[in-house]
Amino acid sequence: MVAIATLNRRKIWAIALTMALVAVFAAVACSSGDEDDPTAAPAASAQGQLGGDAKSIAERRGLSDADIEAALKTFTPTGVMDEYLMFSSGGHSGQLHVIGMPSMRLLKTIAVFTPESWQGYGIGSNESEEVLEGGRVNGDEVLWGDTHHPALTETAGEYDGEFVFTNDKANARVAVISLKDFETKQIVKNPITLSDHGATMVTPNSEWVIEGGQYAMPLSGDYAPISDYQEKYRGMVTMWKFDRAAGRIDTTQSFAIELPPYWQDLCDAGKLVSEGWFVCGSFNTEMATGGNQDGNPPFEAGASQADMDYLHVFNIEKAIAARDAGKTVQIQGFPVIPLEVAASDGILHLVPEPKSPHGADVTPGGEYIVVSGKLDPHVTIYSFDKIIAAIAAGPAETDSFGVPVLAFDDVVEAQVEVGLGPLHTQFDNKGYAYTSLFLDSAVARWTLGGPYASLNPDPEWSLITKTQVHYNVGHIAAAEGDTVSPDGKYLVSLNKWSLDRFNLVGPLLPQNFQLLDIEGTGEEMPVIYDMPVGFGEPHYAQIIKADKIHAWEVYPEIGFNPLTGEIDPSATLAGEERVERDGNTVHVYMTAVRSHFTPEHVTVKEGDHVAWHITNIERGLDATHGFAMPGKNVSLSIEPGETITTEFDVTDDGVFPFYCTEFCSALHLEMAGYFLVEPSGS
């Protein structure tokens, strides 16, 4: 053991020092590093060249060889960019988080369903309030969300870096975010249900954004007693049509499919050989209705009695054909394909899936669907070809709603015992699949078979190794790990509990993102970084190659409105600043540039309505100005080139100092002005 440790350490230091010295000693850096020769001492001699005693630092800090190796894999010097960006759901924060990898540096939090003051989102700007308006629930403002599953837009099954979608499980809403400016452009509220979970997932060219529901309810929104559950309560899945050119979901082309009142769960779109199909898991096919206050079994028991639940298999073309043939009914003003039509027209088939399933993930080539049952130690792998054949042969059975049910044995390709509490599966480029194990607190690596069997030396459909994670992993995300060509580089374990990993910060603990290096094969799959996540409970994340994203450095033209994508009618250039009265509405046309607003005095009368338009006329990278108006709940962030409008009623006379909230220059504190409100009688 000692000898191995010594060799490892020497190898590690050789790597470290080679990297550090490569510029200066290009000719000699590698030649002296013979790992097999115990007398070779490249580390010792090279270390002197470093000018610091790195080895003794490691010893002083108690760092093991594995720690040092992990540090070398993740440390990212100042000014060096990350290779990947992870888009992580922010859970209860209602936001998305953008994290650089492998450094695991938090780069940005994108405000989606929740107002956020730094970005001036939902804090007074007309543009952001218009976006949030789209998310009203039965007319009411809901100012938070439970984001679960981000979905990057895809072209031919590859992330294309143009947009990202995410859902709000708590209110059945879907948001569209542009990766030109990383801002939310649209929120749509699902009109027929109140919770979603199988959202958001996209088809391989992002024509459709899939939003599967979760808790069944009357789709009409009307009351029905729980005793009418089987008759009146329904599940649903919605297909939102994405108009890429407009950068918006086209609600007029979107529709839903009525489903049995099973609790539909995660969905995934088919790709390549299974393009044109999508699947959603489900649980509570028992249709348990809970009621432990009356001595009935609680949901957790009632919904877990059966050995099998149902994977729902959808044919997209047939759904569109039924919609186009007018076979929909309007529910709450939204077109819905009735359950009978879904069953009779071949839109929906059910496939038995073991015990309380959660994840349903399609392999990179689209050949297989991997399903994990929370209460079954196996992953079950279905063959898409077999599903097609079974559908063609005509299923012998139906469920109690008349939906055809395929026979389990006809469609299963393999089962692999991976461990306790399997949830979600991701893929790499070496023929391995990775499944999170909630109860085991581990990530399992196992081999795929069929066309993947030749990619590694291990036997097909078998468990290879497990890496312990800390603790209670939900989703995992690998670099481009749910696309048609996973990169096989990094995998993040999104752990729900962190227990003993970080300094205690009171009884509400952060979650823990653990970065695993999956570049090796076989049993090599170490944890190389821990990132505490103290902002809501993230669920899923997607990881995209950073160079696929082409974000704007500044807005394309001065006066740009990020919501319309055009020059704002109120855009104001230098020299055009003015205050105009139109009845009792006062328009302020203001510019912001280091380090002043123009005009600096704005005088109105009590009782006026103010429409305040501000244009940031800067063209310099990072030259953002903020705008804060005391007492008016206004915080704006005006990026270079942007025009923003805020409107409010002037209810009190007085003097209101406004100021820039971004420390934009040495004279930033002087970037201020006075809003003077004369009494109405004056």
Residues that bind ligand CUA (CB under 6 A): 595, 625, 660, 662-664, 668, 671
Residue type, 364: P
Give the separation between CA 562 and CA 560, rounded to whole angstroms. 6
Q: In the complex, what is the shortest distance from the CB of residue 68 to ligand CUA, in angstroms, rounded to a whole number?
A: 43
Site size for ligand K7E (CB under 6 A): 11
| Binding partner selected for residue 423 from ligand CUA, ligand K7E, none, CB under the kind-specific 5 to 8 Å limit | ligand K7E
Q: In the complex, what is the shortest distance from the CB of residue 579 to ligand CUA, in angstroms, rounded to a whole number?
A: 20
Per CB under 6 A, contacts with ligand K7E among 402-431 are 423-424
Per CB under 6 A, contacts with ligand K7E among 467-486 are 474-475
| Binding partner selected for residue 358 from ligand CUA, ligand K7E, none, CB under the kind-specific 5 to 8 Å limit | ligand K7E
Q: Specify the residue, 148 or 327, whose C-beta has the smaller distance to ligand K7E.
A: 148
| 10, 97, 148, 625: which one binds ligand K7E (CB under 6 A) | 148
Name the residue number minimizing CB distance to ligand K7E: 474
Q: Specify the residue, 461 or 540, whose C-beta has the smaller distance to ligand K7E.
A: 540
HEC per residue, 71-117: HHHHCCCCCCCCCEEEEEECECCCEEEEEEECCCEEEEEEECCCCEC
Q: Quick one: 451 exposed, middle or buried, by C-beta within 10 A (0-12, 13-18, 19+)?
A: middle
Q: In the complex, what is the shortest distance from the CB of residue 539 to ligand K7E, in angstroms, rounded to a whole number?
A: 4
| 540, 555, 627, 675: which one binds ligand K7E (CB under 6 A) | 540
Per CB under 6 A, contacts with ligand K7E among 233-272 are 266
Closest by CA to 443, choosing from 460, 461, 418, is: 418
The structure tokens listed for 477 are: 């995300």
Q: State how far the alpha carbon of 456 is from the alpha carbons of 373, 379, 461, 606, in Å.
A: 27, 20, 12, 75
Closest by CA to 436, choosing from 447, 446, 450, is: 446
| Binding partner selected for residue 540 from ligand K7E, ligand CUA, none, CB under the kind-specific 5 to 8 Å limit | ligand K7E
Give the separation between CA 371 and CA 369, rounded to whole angstroms. 6
Binding of ligand K7E at residue 197 (CB under 6 A)? yes
Q: In the complex, what is the shortest distance from the CB of residue 453 to ligand K7E, in angstroms, rounded to a whole number?
A: 28
Q: In the complex, what is the shortest distance from the CB of residue 292 to ligand CUA, in angstroms, rounded to a whole number?
A: 57
| Binding partner selected for residue 197 from ligand K7E, ligand CUA, none, CB under the kind-specific 5 to 8 Å limit | ligand K7E
Name 405's bridge partners: 350, 397
Name 566's bridge partners: 561
Binding of ligand K7E at residue 219 (CB under 6 A)? no
Sign of CA dihedral 470, 475, 480, 482: positive
Name 205's bridge partners: none
Binding of ligand K7E at residue 452 (CB under 6 A)? no
Q: Specify the residue, 317 or 670, whose C-beta has the smaller distance to ligand CUA.
A: 670
Q: State how far the alpha carbon of 226 is from the alpha carbons of 89, 230, 282, 567, 682, in Å.
A: 33, 9, 20, 53, 63
The structure tokens listed for 45 are: 């001699």
Q: In the complex, what is the shortest distance from the CB of residue 618 to ligand CUA, in angstroms, rounded to a whole number?
A: 9
User: Rounded to the nearest 10 degrees, what angle do helices 42-50 and 2-21 cross at?
Assistant: 40
> Phi, psi at residue 498, to the nearest 5°?
-120, -15
Give the separation between CA 280 and CA 353, rounded to whole angstroms. 11
Q: Specify the residue, 97 or 197, whose C-beta has the smaller distance to ligand K7E.
A: 197
Q: State how far the alpha carbon of 160 is from the alpha carbons of 147, 153, 244, 294, in Å.
A: 22, 6, 12, 52
| Binding partner selected for residue 618 from ligand CUA, ligand K7E, none, CB under the kind-specific 5 to 8 Å limit | none
Q: In the complex, what is the shortest distance from the CB of residue 668 to ligand CUA, in angstroms, rounded to a whole number?
A: 4
Q: In the complex, what is the shortest distance from the CB of residue 358 to ligand K7E, in angstroms, rounded to a whole number?
A: 6
Binding of ligand K7E at residue 358 (CB under 6 A)? yes
| Residues in contact with ligand K7E by the rule CB under 6 A | 148-149, 197, 266, 358, 423-424, 474-475, 539-540
